[in-house]
Chains A and B, each alone.
Chain A
Amino acid sequence: MTCEEAIKLMDGYLDGELDPMTSQKIEQHLRACRKCEQAYEAHTALAHAISRAAPYYKAPTELRQRIQSSLRDAVGIRGSRSAARENRALLTSPRAERRLLLPEIPWNWLALAAAIILAAIIASSFLPRLRTPASDQFLATQLIASHVRSLMADHLTDVASSDQHTVKPWLDTKLDFAPPVIDLSSEGFPLIGGRLDYLDNRPVAALVYGHRKHFINLFVWPAAPDEAKAPKTITRQGYQLLHWADPDFNYWAVSDVNVNDLQLFKQQFETRTPRH
Chain B
Amino acid sequence: MAAPLKAEYAFGPEDLESRRKVVKFTVLRKADPDHAESAELASFEETMLPHIDAAHNLARWLLRNEQDAQDVVQEAYLRAFKSFGGFHGSNGRAWLLTIVRNTSYTLLKKNRAVDLTTTFDEEIHATGHDSASPAAILEHAEDAELIRNAMDQLPTEFREILALRHQEGLSYKEIGDIAQLAPGTVMSRLARARAKLKEYLAAQIGKEK
Q: Which residues of A contact B (CB under 8 A)?
A: 8-12, 15, 17, 38, 42-43, 45-60, 63-64, 66-68, 70-72, 74-75, 77, 95, 107, 110-111, 113-114, 116-117, 119-121, 123-124, 127, 130, 138, 141-142, 144-146, 148, 151-153, 155, 158, 195-198, 201, 203, 212-214, 235-238, 256-258, 261
Q: Report the separation of the CA atoms of residues A238 and B92 in the bound assembly, to the nearest whole angstrom.
A: 5
Give the chain B neighbours of A107 by CB distance below 8 A: 1, 4
Give the chain A neighbours of B142 by CB distance below 8 A: 49, 52-53
Give the chain B neighbours of A258 by CB distance below 8 A: 169-171
Contact B187 A11 (CB under 8 A): yes
Query: Can you list the 4 inter-chain pairs with the closest CB atoms, starting with the nearest?
Result: A238-B92, A49-B141, A110-B4, A120-B21
B59 to chain A, nearest CB (A): 8
When A49-B142, A113-B11 are in contact, do A142 and B23 touch as well, CB less than 8 Å? Answer: yes
Contact A58 B53 (CB under 8 A): yes
Q: Report the separation of the CA atoms of residues A198 and B22 in the bound assembly, to the nearest whole angstrom.
A: 11
Contact B3 A55 (CB under 8 A): no
Contact B61 A153 (CB under 8 A): no
Q: Select which of A67, A114, A119 is within 8 A of B52 by beta carbon.
A: A67
CB of B26 within 8 Å of the partner chain:
yes
When A67-B74, A152-B49, A153-B11 are in contact, do A203 and B90 touch as well, CB less than 8 Å? Answer: no
Question: Which partner residue on chain B sits nearest A260 by CB separation?
Answer: B171
Known contacts A57-B60, A130-B24; 20 further A-B pairs (Cβ under 8 A): A11-B187, A42-B138, A50-B166, A50-B194, A53-B141, A59-B57, A70-B77, A71-B41, A75-B37, A77-B41, A114-B4, A117-B7, A127-B28, A148-B46, A198-B20, A201-B20, A213-B167, A238-B47, A238-B95, A258-B169
Mask: chain B, 171-209; 1 = CB below 8 Å from A; 0 = not: 110000000000100011011001001100100000000
Question: Which partner residue on chain B sits nearest A64 by CB separation?
Answer: B52
CB of B38 within 8 Å of the partner chain:
yes
Give the chain B neighbours of A197 by CB distance below 8 A: 16, 19
Contact B24 A127 (CB under 8 A): yes
Q: Report the separation of the CA atoms of residues A9 and B183 in the bound assembly, to the nearest whole angstrom.
A: 13
Give the chain A neighbours of B70 by CB distance below 8 A: 59-60, 63, 66
